[in-house]
A = this chain, B = another copy of it.
Amino acid sequence: MRDVYHEELDGISDKLVEMTRLVRSAMTRATTALLDADLPLAEQVISGDEQINQLDAEIEETVFDLMARQQPVAGDLRTLITSLRMSGDLERMGDLAVHLAKTARRRHPDPAVPPQVSVIVLEMGHVAERMAAKAGSVIASRDVAMALELDGDDDAMDRLHRKLFDVLLSPKWRHGVEPAVDITLAGRYFERFADHAVHVAENMVYLVTGQRPEEIA
């Protein structure tokens, strides 16, 4: 039974990595859809979220099943609960990419992002993609050093977020209230996406070391 058990644990880890790949790809497409007013790409993100939700549901089912059948000991319990949490964060990252895609769809055929902030939004997308990719590597490799790197990426995201508000609130903003509302929400979605990627990394640090990142760094 123990072998099947550890195979199932590996299966959960593989699914988590697959989720990071899917949310990374959703974020890439959502950012492009926002910047290029690309409706088919937006629709792909929106319909593709089902696959991410499905993986989350499968992980939850496997975790509950293993807990009930195997009475796992402390270390394995920590792995199972941490997996549930990472899966929840990744599922939420998928939702946030969908929110971005829906913003693109709502404004189509106009672009939701005025040229005045397109470089900042593009950079936010890049940082978000990089963080999702790193979260995947962290889960696959259990690399604590890389997990701690996500804090730096999150700082970069926060700086971009502040820059975005600086432009929105400057006297030079020429686009009025409606695009400002869209951009405010989009900025919030990027920032929350990054926060969840950090949570994934923090959970892995906790799993590997038994310590919260703030106790290590």
By a beta-carbon cutoff of 8 Å, the part of chain A in contact with chain B is 64, 67-68, 71, 73-74, 77-78, 81, 84, 165, 168-169, 173, 176-178, 180-181, 184-185, 188
Contacts and interface: CB of A to CB of B under 8 A. Distances in A.
A176 B185 CA distance: 17
A37 to B, nearest CB: 19
Contacts of A188: 185, 188
Nearest to A60: B81
Contacts of A81: 64, 67, 81, 84
Query: What 5 A-B pairs come out closest when comparing CB atoms?
Result: A68-B74, A184-B184, A177-B180, A181-B184, A67-B77
Contacts of A71: 71
Contacts of A181: 165, 168-169, 180-181, 184
A77 B81 CA distance: 11
A160 B71 CA distance: 46
Contacts of A73: 68
20 contacts: A64-B77, A64-B78, A64-B81, A67-B77, A67-B81, A68-B74, A68-B77, A71-B71, A81-B84, A165-B181, A168-B181, A169-B177, A176-B177, A177-B180, A180-B180, A180-B184, A181-B181, A184-B184, A184-B185, A188-B188
A73 B64 CA distance: 11
A121 to B, nearest CB: 16
Nearest to A63: B81
A77 B69 CA distance: 11
Contacts of A180: 177, 180-181, 184
A81 B180 CA distance: 40
B178 A169 contact: yes
Most buried by B among A165, A177, A185: A177
Given A67-B74, A81-B81, A173 B169 contact: no
